[in-house]
Chain A
Amino acid sequence: MTARLRLTVVTVFPDLLGTYGDRGNGMVLARRAAWRGIDVSLVEAVSTDRLPAADIYCIGGGEDGPQVRAAELLGGDDTFAGAVRQGAAVLGVCAGYQLLGRSFPDAGGAPIRGLGLLDVETVKGAGSRAVGELLAEASPTAPMLPGGVRLPPLTGFENHAGTTMLGRGAAPLARVVRGRGNGGAGRSEGAWSGRVVGTYLHGPVLARNPHLADLLLGWALGSEEPLATVDDVEVEAWRAERLAASASRRPAWSSLVR
């Protein structure tokens, strides 16, 4: 039995950080909660509105300028700070992940102060932009699903130019099997601490990785038990296809020809 039966999920500033379909994360959380009979409200809060108090905040990816603007707005938002202090879960993706950290680069590469909710620091990567399918296995340090179950492999699409370094206060979410992820020597992808999760995975990440969605829902509901199962037949078929596509070493020929 879950401890709470009401949830508010907020998609943060889709007008600034909504370029890569990441609003899907909020949609997935809301549907999966509703399927389980939870009274859930999903708010897409544009940057000119007041950010409502929420149980889960989803922050998406976007361009450099809007990323800086979003960090400014969130940094000065008492409602957001208060909700996080009281244990709201936060998911940051790509630009949204970077701004959760201590600092991230602006368009010119100069460091901008982040929210400091994750002990990570992002700099402009040396090489080319990382664009493509990303496959990663949950690290031993990754959060456990209820019942001590390990997160299954994470799959998604990355599209970024940053290298993110983890400090002691953050643990990697996963180990990269294919793709770049955080970049650097550790082959890690994403970071988490407390109830804050950051990742480079688009897809959207919670659509491709429903267990991660349920992890966030479990946190927000204060549930120690596994959540009731929902119909994931099509999701699992999609995952199997994507995992197989990432596992084959050569790029799909079909993706190269027009």
Chain B
Amino acid sequence: MRGPGVGPEGKEGRGSQRLGLRSGLAVRGVVAANRLVRATRFGQGTVLGGRVGLAIAPDLLRALSAGRRVALVSGTNGKTTTTRLLAAALGSPGTPGGPMSSVVPPVTNVTGANMPEGHVAALSERWSPTAALEVDESYLGQLVSATDPVIVVLLNLSRDQLDRIAEVRLVAERWRSALDAVRSRARNPGDAPVVEASNRVGGGAVVVANADDPLVVWAAEAAPVVVWVGAGQVWDEDSVGCPRCGGSLQRPVGEGWRCARCTFARPTPSVWTDGRDLVQDGEVRTPVELALPGGFNVANATMAAVAAAVFLEPRAVGDPGVMAVGCRTALAAMREVEEVGGRFGTVDWRGVAVRRLLAKNPAGWAAIFDLLDEVEDPPVPVVLAINARTADGLDTSWLWDVPFERLRGRWVVATGERARDLAVRLHYAGVDHVTAPDSGAALEHAAGRARGAGVPRVDFVGNYTAFARLPVAP
């Protein structure tokens, strides 16, 4: 049997990619189990196989990462999209300056299976010398340790699914420890970046971090080499206190943020977003033209572009010219991305276009409201679908942290398994709404309303499992 994930032409081993007997067996287990899951249509086939593989070979992630150049992307929001955009940039055959890695598209966990089972599954499916992996915030330390990444992209941190994941400041502390470990592994800690033959900078990962998120900065500053990107912050309510001293963080308009008590402050970014442009030192502007909508995707694309530029040409860290070319090339490759796991894409519901949007936590909702506000009058009818399964978080209290008041003046249909929780929230927010028992009925309502108002579209926003269960028109 040709071993998937074990080198081209079925040859086991490609330098350090040689897998041991146990890992080789584990990889076969991963692939077989996931094929079975897909064949029986029980699921997407990205988790069970990974569990099987990790049970056979607990060190499988390390074994599969050896000899590959890995980029990791983590954060509360935007990680799936950013990973997708990064993979597009790394996989583009036209990437100049890219080593042979640009010939084979990177492996990536596209379905959003962002815990180790999913990573093992992605790395087992096919061979590629590169990987772009989305990582659940809680697993970043484990992944950094196991995959020895070239790049770690840190987007943002805010509250999410509180009955399942440790509170957000704790996550930032764990990130910081994980990146501090990178520093202690680096051969030239504190020195200027040294580009090595392996394309590693300073012997460790280059961290591409959002300078506008204080919790991200707190974590990232522990790393030996950081490229700061001004990617904005949609939600600042989880970073009111200084993570260093507990003082209060101030945000003077137009000046970034800084602690009122200590010296902790926004680092000066070398790349940032301004409207729909990516801007560099020296005011080099590149328009970010994407098929994906929304200001937050301009930010995601900027993070991904910087990561791709450094991944493909480490000199970009210290050379603005190289960075500019790298970012431009990467952004061009990202235009092909029209949807990400169904989100941002449009489906037809009896002649009305339904745009599918996913929001999982208060910051994600705030970003979606920004997106809805980008459209002029007349307002598009909105369907909101809320579930509270394990993957969503069982506690719906977070609905009260979401500024639903921003939907006043729109026409809203509340649906999902927890439509009643949402309906009460909308009632108190003063938002006109009706409640529908399921997404099909909700879309029927909204599509009718859209046709009546002469609006060509409906926006559907769901949280995790509600989004996944959007029905197709009968």
Contacts and interface: CB of A to CB of B under 8 A. Distances in A.
Given A203-B396, A235-B424, 4 more contacts: A21-B400, A157-B394, A234-B427, A238-B420
A77 interface: no
B397 A21 contact: yes
A156 B389 CA distance: 16
Contact of A48 (B248, B390, B400): B248
A23 B390 contact: no
Contact of B162 (A20, A47, A207, A237): A20
B167 interface: yes
Nearest to B465: A258
Interface of B: 159, 162-163, 167, 169-170, 237, 240-241, 246, 248, 260, 387-391, 394-401, 417, 420-421, 423-425, 427-428, 435, 465
Nearest to B239: A15
Nearest to B405: A27
A132 interface: yes
B169 A258 contact: no
Interface stretch (A78-86, A135-143, A221-229, A249-257): A249-257
A2 interface: no
B420 A23 contact: no
Contacts of A207: 400, 424-425, 428
13 contacts: A19-B167, A24-B400, A47-B248, A48-B260, A157-B163, A159-B395, A234-B423, A234-B424, A238-B423, A254-B389, A254-B417, A258-B390, A258-B391
A63 interface: yes
B395 A202 contact: yes
A159 B161 CA distance: 12
A203 B162 CA distance: 12
A233 B390 CA distance: 28
Contacts of B246: 69
A190 interface: no
A157 B393 CA distance: 12
Interface residues of A, number: 40
A74 B323 CA distance: 51
Interface in A49-68: 63, 65-66
B167 to A, nearest CB: 5
B366 to A, nearest CB: 15
A255 B421 CA distance: 15
A28 B417 CA distance: 23
A255 B389 contact: yes
B400 A23 contact: yes
Given A21-B399, A22-B397, A202-B395, A159 B421 contact: no
Task: Give me the 5 closest cross-chain CB pairs, A-B, nearest first.
Answer: A24-B400, A21-B397, A15-B240, A21-B400, A48-B248
A133 B167 CA distance: 20
Contacts of B248: 46-48
Contact of B389 (A14, A234, A257): A257
Interface string A1-33: 000000000000011101111111001100100
A180 to B, nearest CB: 14
A20 B164 CA distance: 12
A3 B423 CA distance: 32
B237 A241 contact: no
A66 B242 CA distance: 12
B117 to A, nearest CB: 12
A157 B418 CA distance: 14
A19 B424 contact: no
Contact of B237 (A15, A204, A258): A15
B428 A27 contact: yes
A255 B163 contact: no
A152 B211 CA distance: 50
B400 A204 contact: yes
A229 to B, nearest CB: 15
Nearest to A129: B163
Contacts of B421: 238
Best-buried of A16, A19, A63, A66 by chain B (most CB within 10 Å): A19
A131 interface: yes
Contacts of A22: 397, 400
A20 B423 contact: no
A257 B427 CA distance: 30
A20 B395 contact: yes
Contacts of A69: 246
Contacts of B423: 234, 237-238
Nearest to A257: B389
Interface string A198-231: 0000111001000000000000000000000001
A133 B400 CA distance: 17
Contact of A27 (B163, B390, B400, B435): B400
A203 B397 contact: yes
B401 A256 contact: no
Contacts of A24: 397, 399-400, 425, 428
Contacts of B435: 234
A234 B399 contact: no
A131 B167 CA distance: 14
B317 to A, nearest CB: 35
Given A27-B428, A258-B391, A241 B420 contact: yes
A204 B397 contact: yes
B401 A21 contact: yes
A237 to B, nearest CB: 6
Contacts of B395: 20-21, 157, 159, 202
A65 B398 CA distance: 21
A231 B424 CA distance: 11
Contact of A255 (B240, B390, B398, B427): B390
B163 A23 contact: no
B154 to A, nearest CB: 21
Nearest to A14: B237
B392 to A, nearest CB: 9
